[in-house]
Amino acid sequence: MLILSTSSEDLLMCSRLLKNGNTVAVPTETVYGLAANALDEDAVKRIFLAKGRPADNPLIIHISDISMFPEYCFPTRSAFLLADNFWPGPLTVILPKKTVVPSAVTAGLSSVAVRMPSHPVAKRIISLCGFPLAAPSANISGKPSPTRFEHVVNDLSRNEFVAAAIDGGRCECGVESTVVSLIGDHPCLLRPGAVTVEMLRTVVPDLTVADAVLQKLPQNEKALSPGLKHKHYAPAAETVCLTGSAESSLRYIKARAEGKKTAVICFDGEEEIFSDYTVIPYGLPEKPETLAENVFAALRKADGIKDCERIFVRCAPPEGKGLAVYNRLLRASDFKVVNTEEYV
């Protein structure tokens, strides 16, 4: 894997690689994406091979200009309203697809997910290419999404299906884009992100929230978004989310650590309280955007602790930008959430 900078020459090199059907990891404002020409079926297949991604999980296509929007899907009035308000930025909309989009991108669905990123590097590469880029998060399937360049290197540097990666530093949002389906009668939130439910409802007041955002799908229920059913973001150690005070969380952890190597992903300023364990502070609950920025890095750090058997994560309420963090932690812990106040 070739390592590229964000210099003009390197971005040009990146666009050449993409034009030749290669995959390249690129920074976006949400997470790093593993990009390929969305209109080239073989290039798209290379993304699935690189990630070990199930073929039934469709990809988002990324555009750099609003004129590209109606080329690949049939935008509705709500779609243009959302685009006006939140693009370029961390919002993806799902609409009926046009036939130019290969079925490998959409995993055979008749809809396609579209987003216009705000990251200057991502935007520049798409305009240099002149075609949309299909790009899932640039991690091995099932691992936390990469929000730092080192995450991409750790996951993909020896991957035969990845030609290059651009070092764009940290990703600002830290969680993947908000996904809204515009296919049914009402707009429906499938994945929460930095564009919050409250922000969306200023534009589409009838927005609903898919059950799967906060609940485990019953085994036999068909997922609105295939991504909702796959195991995600999961460290190897057993991971448990804790709500409740720091004090009751500590009591709960103490009673269950049983001499096992334990990591605690806590809020900033709580390092002392949990100092019997490996502490990984990840931000402030009153500033959920800080938690979002660091949540995947924290999960990866905990996963990297040798022989770590248990990870406890202090969890902020699922409100505003906190909903996206909560949703990712639910998946990382396979929906194991404990209100430690109930154990006093």
Separation of CA 104 from chain center: 20
Nearest one of 2, 35, 7, 40 to 21, comparing CA atoms: 40
Which residue's Cβ lies closest to ligand TXA? 227
Task: Tally Cβ neighbours within 10 Å of residue 251.
Answer: 15
Q: How far apart are CA 35 and CA 25, in angstroms?
A: 6
CB of 250 to ligand TXA, least distance (A): 34
Binding positions for ligand TXA, rule: CB under 6 A: 28, 30-31, 33, 57-60, 90, 92, 94, 106, 109, 111-113, 115, 135-137, 176-177, 179, 190-191, 225-227
The entry of ligand TXA, Mg ion, none near residue 33 (CB within 5 to 8 angstroms by kind) is ligand TXA
Token digits of residue 186: 């009402």
Return the number of the residue (105 or 266) whose C-beta is nearest ligand TXA. 105
- Under the binding rule (CB under 5 A), the answer on residue 225 touching Mg ion is no
Return the number of the residue (249 or 294) whose C-beta is nearest Mg ion. 294
Q: How far apart are the first and last CA of the chain?
A: 52
Nearest one of 262, 319, 328, 276 to 297, comparing CA atoms: 328
* DSSP-derived secondary structure for 30-50: SS-EEEEETT-HHHHHHHHHH
Range list of β-strands (E), the chain: 2-4, 24-26, 33-37, 60-62, 91-96, 111-115, 133-134, 164-166, 178-181, 188-191, 208-209, 238-243, 262-266, 278-281, 310-314, 337-339
- Under the binding rule (CB under 5 A), the answer on residue 137 touching Mg ion is yes
What residues contact 275, with CB distance under 8 A and at least 6 apart? none
Secondary structure class of 81 (helix, strand, coil): helix
CB of 283 to ligand TXA, least distance (A): 19
CB of 139 to ligand TXA, least distance (A): 8
User: 119 with 307: CB under 8 angstroms?
Assistant: no
The entry of ligand TXA, Mg ion, none near residue 28 (CB within 5 to 8 angstroms by kind) is ligand TXA
CB of 338 to Mg ion, least distance (A): 26
Stretch that binds Mg ion, among 101-109, 136-144, 281-289, 326-334 (CB under 5 A): 136-144
# residues near Mg ion by CB under 5 A: 1
Return the number of the residue (22 or 139) whose C-beta is nearest Mg ion. 139
The entry of ligand TXA, Mg ion, none near residue 225 (CB within 5 to 8 angstroms by kind) is ligand TXA
The entry of ligand TXA, Mg ion, none near residue 188 (CB within 5 to 8 angstroms by kind) is none
The entry of Mg ion, ligand TXA, none near residue 165 (CB within 5 to 8 angstroms by kind) is none
CB of 181 to Mg ion, least distance (A): 17
Which residue's Cβ lies closest to Mg ion? 137
CB of 287 to ligand TXA, least distance (A): 21
The interaxial angle of helices 120-129 and 8-19, nearest 10 deg, is 50
- Under the binding rule (CB under 5 A), the answer on residue 327 touching Mg ion is no
The entry of ligand TXA, Mg ion, none near residue 196 (CB within 5 to 8 angstroms by kind) is none
Return the number of the residue (190 or 315) whose C-beta is nearest ligand TXA. 190
CB of 148 to ligand TXA, least distance (A): 14
Q: How far apart are CA 341 and CA 319, in angstroms?
A: 20
CB of 226 to ligand TXA, least distance (A): 4
Measured CA to CA in angstroms, residue 207 lies from 57, 181, 189, 317 at distances of: 24, 10, 7, 21
Provide the binding-site residues for Mg ion, judged by CB under 5 A: 137
